[in-house]
Amino acid sequence: MQQLALTPSFLGVKIDMGEKNLYTRCMNNKKTIGDLMHAHGLKKTPIRTGMLELFMAHDFALSASDIVAKMTAGHDKVTIYRALNSFEEHGILHRASEDGHGIKYAMCSSHCPDEPHTDKHAHFVCDVCHQTYCLEDVEVPEVEVSNEFSVSRANYTLCGICKKCKN
């Protein structure tokens, strides 16, 4: 079970190997990165291998441009985008936040503070019409978070089909 397939010498990608536990994400059922791709009917190419190694070597989420920047061997961003889409379609990567179709604004209520703020209610984004509704009566629930993080705002967004698009 040689796990050395993971040695990130590839492509000149510099990877800090400090956080071993990240490996468990894909290694804990005896899968190498290559096995993982093959299991999904994807080809094991240098770029895609390098990308997945990058993901395993970081404890935070990466954007397309993060990856373009970290891969030294000047690859085309189109390739990166297509690989990310493919990984997402196969459930190898998940997106760590809804992208949204641009920023949307809504009217504040009279008890809002006179400064930029996130409101205390949840929002709903329709997958069909992409409209965003303020759910004024749905409070954002609170959660317990490790005190490594100082939380100042919370955002709760539901997705699905809106009242208009259900018909």
Instruction: Report the site for its own copies in 145-164 (rule: CB under 8 A).
Output: 145-146, 148-163
Instruction: Judge contact between 166 and 132, C-beta under 8 A.
Output: no
Which C-beta is closer to Mn ion: that of 17 or that of 106?
106
Determine if 119 is a binding residue for Mn ion (CB under 5 A).
Answer: yes
Cα(136)–Cα(21) distance, integer angstroms: 41
Size of the site for DNA (CB under 7 A): 28
Site string for Zn ion, 138-167 (x = CB under 5 A): ------------------------x--x--
Find the binding residues for DNA in span 22-61 (CB under 7 A). Answer: 34, 37-38, 41-48
What are the residues whose beta carbons fall under 8 Å from the beta carbon of 120, sequence distance 6 or more?
A: 139, 140
Cα(167)–Cα(165) distance, integer angstroms: 5
Query: CA 158, 155, 89: angle at the middle one, nearest 5?
Result: 50
Q: Which stretches of the chain bind DNA, using CB under 7 A?
A: 34, 37-38, 41-48, 63-65, 75-79, 81-83, 85-86, 99, 101-103
